[in-house]
Every structure is written in C-alpha cells, then in structure tokens.
Amino acid sequence: MPRFFLSFLMFMLVFPSIAFSEIEIGGYIKTDNRIRLQDGNKLTWNENQLDLKAEVTPSEKTHLFGEFMLRGFGLPKIAETKDLQRTEKDKAYPWAIEFKEAYIDFYGFLLKDLDLRIGRQRIAWGTADELNPTDNLNPDDFEDIWDFGKKLGTNSLKATYYLGDFTLTGVFIPTFTPAVLPDSDWASALSPSMSIPEGLKIQNISDQITLPENNPKKGSMGAVKVAKSLFNYDFSLSYFYGRDDLPLVDRVFIEPVDTLGSVNVNTRLCYPRMQVVGLDMAGAVGDVGIWAEGALFIPEKVEMTTIMPTQSGMISQKSTALKDQGYFKYVVGGDYTFKNGLYVNGQFLHGFYHERGKDNLEDYFMLGFEKKFFNDELKITLAGGAEIKKFDDLKDNYATIMFPEISYYPLDNTEILLGVYLIDGKETTNFGRVKENNEGYLKVKYSF
C-alpha cells in the first residue's frame, strides 16, 4: 500500500521529532450509502472514511495541525478481464487518500500581536449557514452536491494582526486550484444547457480546460479582511482578488460530421479573474440569532468565440460570455430554539455558488426544523428549500428540495442517520434539471 505509506510519512513530517504522547489525535470513522429512488434503485454512493486529525503545541509560540482521510469510495469499475488483475486492483476495490490540511501557526511572529499560519489550510469567511458569498479563498468541492459549503484546503499564507478592537487578516495563495465537480448525473445542476443552431444534431461533445499559468502573476490570489465587534454584533469587511474556481466557456467549435446536420462540439473553458468586496455581520436580537452577508462580484470580461458551419462554409462569431459588470450576491437568515427544544433555522439566498452575472442570479429559500426526543438519543430533522428563477412566471420557474432525516445516537460519539433527498420542479431551474435523482441514504459515524 504505497500511497498509505506516503501519507503516513507526510503525517509524520508535519510533526517531526515530537513524542507521540504530546500529539492530540482525533477523527472519525464514517460510512455513507445511498440508493436511487428511481432508475431501478441502483446504488449511487458507497463510501467509507477514516479521518485522522493530529495537533500539537510544542511551545506557547507555535501550533501544528494536520488532517488526512483514507477513503474507500465508489463501486467497482470493471470493463474487461485485465481490470481484475493485481496491478489494477483499484478498479475492483476503489480507494484513495485525501490530504486535507497541514499547517504551522506562529504566535507573536516578529511582532507581539501578529500571528502567522503557513501551509495547506481551510480559510472560512462569512457568517451565514453554509451558503457564504464572501467565502472565496478555497475552491468549492462539489463532489457531493448535498454537502453545501464544502471546500478544499489550499496552500496559503495567512497573517492576522490584532490592533485594539480590530482584527486585520491578510491571505496570499500562490497557486490556483479549481473546484471539484460532481459526477455526470449531477453535473447539469451546475451547467446551463448549451444552445446549438436549429437544424444541427449533436453527435459528440468534448472540452478542453485552460488553467492559469503556474506563476505568481497568473496563478496567485490574495485577500484582506477587517473585523470588529460593535454593540454585541460581529462585523467584517473583506476584499478578494483572484479567480472564479468554476470554468467558463470562451470558445465553441462546431464541426460537421455528415450532410444530415450531425455535428461534433468542442468547447474550451477558462477561469476568469474576479474581485469580490464582501461585508458580513452576525449577532442576536433577544434570543433570535441573526446573520447577513453580501458580496459584490466584479468579474473580468470574457468573450466567447463560436466557430460553426453554414451553407457558405465555416464562420466565426463573437459574443459575451461574461460581462465586466458587477453583480451582488447576498444571504440573510436567523435561528431560534423554542422552550420545548424545537430548533428553527431559515435563510434567504440571492445567487447560488455557480451563478454569474446580474441577470443569472436566482433566489433560494431554505428552512429547517430539528427536535430531539428520548433524552436527546433521537433527533428528527425536516429541512428543505425552494428555488425561484422568475417570480413573474412562477409556475414554470421553480424547484423544491426536501431532505427529512432521522438521527439516532445509541452511544456516545456515535450517530446513525437515515433520510432521503427529494427534488421536484421545472427543468428551467438548477435543481429541476436533476429531479430524477431522488435518493435515500444511510450514514453511520463514530467520532473519537
């Protein structure tokens, strides 16, 4: 198992020359299985995780943290007998290692009130519940489309300076990392439908992605944030200069295959530059927790070239794939726990993760209820939301999602989750395009 050995070696390198007794070890073991409620009830998700976290504080001036995950993920992918051979064992028994975080903290670095964090890290900004328009430092991880707000750790340098009641944060990310996309049966939720001239029939589609050059001028990103508490509310103002982590089509080549109108389509995608100015707040009004978060996105202009056949031959047309006009995403929400233990959480979001441009932002309402029973051994969750694309034509531009869940806690640190993901709506919406993907799931997790 060479990959496991390499991961263990990296794990040890994070904590060199430190006795095991000084290392705090934690993590979890988790299994996650899902079955499609339509399409023949096929198994769609089969994952087992062993997540290990370790941290140590060698002195009052330093702190080290590392986390990696060993996972058996997916179902066997066997196409021919050679895939069953020992050298191809990963195809019959898929597994992988995910190196999540590994960083060093230096407290009072050079200056008394300056802290420095260097290494692979998750830098979370924003106050909203999982849906954060100001959280743009780490790339999105859409592998599991239901895991809202999941991000990938990136190699970064973060400096935090404490100036009286203010906290000043600066971040430098030397290289660009793109977002991870979901499997093909979920991809249409994040990808708008492609328009092809009338009379042409697509035979094959292919694409080519152009990553930014791996140098500080083209690939690096940076951000600054100022935070302060005022009147028992937490506020922060931030600025990010970097790139969109989702690719955007900037060229389409339509190649004729025959005289019957069949064509092959090849697209080229890029990652446009963008600036983001963000503001967020969090606090409480009485016993009601409240939060608000907004971000002004200022993208660079992206032109798309379409090369296509006509009766007189191939022609080239230019159009605007992304305007260099600012657009505003925001979220407001709150939560409250009633005296009987019922917990309620609600949010309104304008602009989902992947939506770009003022005219392409949709509205989302999210609402959840939780109630515990039998000395907190059982919890019932009823959560869901609505996607509204156009309020003036609601009947053809909406989608709904529901995910009721039962959680059972038979032992300390152990939870068993049973639930379903239900989708309905019109195919003009993001979630409506994947409404045939309803799933039921069983998850078991033990934390240590």
89-113 pLDDT, tens digit each:
888 889 999 999 999 999 999 999 9
Q: How far apart are CA 151 and CA 333, in angstroms?
A: 21
The pLDDT, as a whole number, for residue 423 is 97
**Which phi and psi angles does 109 have, rounded to 5°?**
-75, 115
Which is nearest to 276 in space by CA: 362, 177, 171, 347?
171
Strands (E) across 19-95 are located at: 24-36, 43-59, 62-73
Identify the DSSP state of 251. E
Question: Beta strand pairing status for 363-373 and 398-402?
Answer: unpaired
Answer left, alpha or beta for residue 174, where phi above 0 means left and psi between -120 and 50 means alpha. Answer: alpha
The pLDDT, as a whole number, for residue 74 is 84
The answer to whether 312 and 293 are in contact (CB under 8 A) is: no
For the record, the structure tokens of 181 come out as 């996309």
In the predicted model, residues of the chain with pLDDT beneath 50 are: 1, 20
Element of type H or E holding 295: strand 288-299
Beta-ladder partners of 347? 333, 366
The pLDDT, as a whole number, for residue 401 is 97
Question: Beta strand pairing status for 114-121 and 248-256?
Answer: unpaired
Identify the DSSP state of 186. H
Instruction: State the CB neighbour count (10 A cutoff) for residue 198.
Output: 6
7-40 pLDDT, tens digit each:
555 555 555 555 545 889 999 999 999 999 988 8
Q: How far apart are CA 299 and CA 395, in angstroms?
A: 32
pTM of the predicted model, to two decimals? Answer: 0.89
For the record, the structure tokens of 169 come out as 């944060």
Give the helix ranges, DSSP H, for 188-285: 216-219
Going from N- to C-terminal start, the domains of the chain cover: 1-99, 362-448
Q: How far apart are CA 349 and CA 327, in angstroms?
A: 14
Mean predicted lDDT score pLDDT of the chain: 91
Sheet of 201-209: strands edge to edge? Answer: 201-209, 262-270, 248-256, 302-310, 313-322
- Kindly give, in sequence order, each residue whose CB lies less than 8 Å from that of residue 317, ignoring residues fewer than 6 positions away: 305, 306, 308
Q: What angle do CA 44, 396, 369 make, to 5 degrees?
A: 55
Give the helix ranges, DSSP H, for 73-199: 89-92, 184-187
Identify the DSSP state of 261. S
SS3 21: helix
The pLDDT, as a whole number, for residue 173 is 97
What is the full DSSP assignment across 306-341?
EEEEETTEEEEEEEEEE-S--EEEEEEEEEEE-TTS
Identify the DSSP state of 140. B
